[in-house]
Amino acid sequence: MIIKQNFFNNPNIGVFSFATDDYCVIPEGLTKREIKTVENTLNVSCIAINIAQSHIIHTLSIGNKNGYLVPHTITDNEQIKLQKQLDINIATVRTELTALGNNILCNDKAAIINPDFERNQLKIIEDALGVEIVKGNILGSEEPGLVGSQALCTNKGVLVHVDANHEILEWLGEVLRVEVDIGTINAGYPYIASGVIANSHGAVVGDDTTGPEIMRLGQVFDIV
């Protein structure tokens, strides 16, 4: 199932929320109806929390079935709340690249990360996610390292920025071991992760998303 939804009257719902096949992390302040819609569409329970006192959950954090990565700017109370509700490893990454969701692209099979992460940070990420970690770029020197904003992946597919070349698409498919294609969201916006919350069960897209964009997304993520 794919449904349209805005958060806080904003179609960039992927900035605010992130989902795996096991859970969905959403910001505090959404209505019960909005939360229930997400849960029914993705077939997972939602965890409502802020990260670093901010609503931009997916910009600042990322995870898979094994672990969840948060920036060192997270507050103690937020981390305690998150740990109580997620029965997986919650790992803090101390780095200047605090927008972890913009700098990491992952599913339950592998992860691609910004090459600027240092060795000790890479070890924390690898231990938490429990998958192979590969450093790389999608758009090359234009916007180096921002792999998490330039694509969105599930355990079934990866939808990528329209400027990614054929070699990059093949590489993404080999690393993440899923189907890959280019696309846009919210009526032509190429930064896919900003407008989608998706897992293997379904997807929630920003309200500006067009019919053809929904069809492409459904094909890539294998969502009926």
Query: Taking residues 137-162, what's their average pLDDT?
Result: 93
> What pLDDT sits at residue 43?
98
Among the listed residues 189, 190, 185, 187, the one whose alpha carbon sits nearest the alpha carbon of residue 164? 190
DSSP assignment letter at 51: B
Query: Taking residues 169-185, what's their average pLDDT?
Result: 97
Q: How many residues does the chain have?
A: 224
* The pLDDT of residue 141 is above 80: no
Domain that holds residue 154: 2-221
pLDDT tens figures, 155-168 = 999 999 999 999 99
pLDDT tens figures, 88-127 = 999 999 999 999 999 999 999 999 999 999 999 999 999 9
The answer to whether the beta carbons of residues 158 and 173 sit under 8 Å apart is yes
Strands in 89-93's sheet, in edge-to-edge order, are: 62-63, 67-71, 89-93
Query: Nearest-5° angle of CA 146, CA 149, CA 153?
Result: 115
Predicted model pTM: 0.96
105 phi and psi angles, rounded to 5 deg: -120, 120
> What pLDDT sits at residue 140?
82
Beta-sheet strands, E only, within 86-175: 89-93, 104-106, 110-113, 132-135, 151-153, 157-160
Number of structural domains found in the chain: 1
**CATH number for the domain that contains residue 191:** 3.75.10.10
For 197, the enclosing helix (H) or strand (E) is strand 196-198
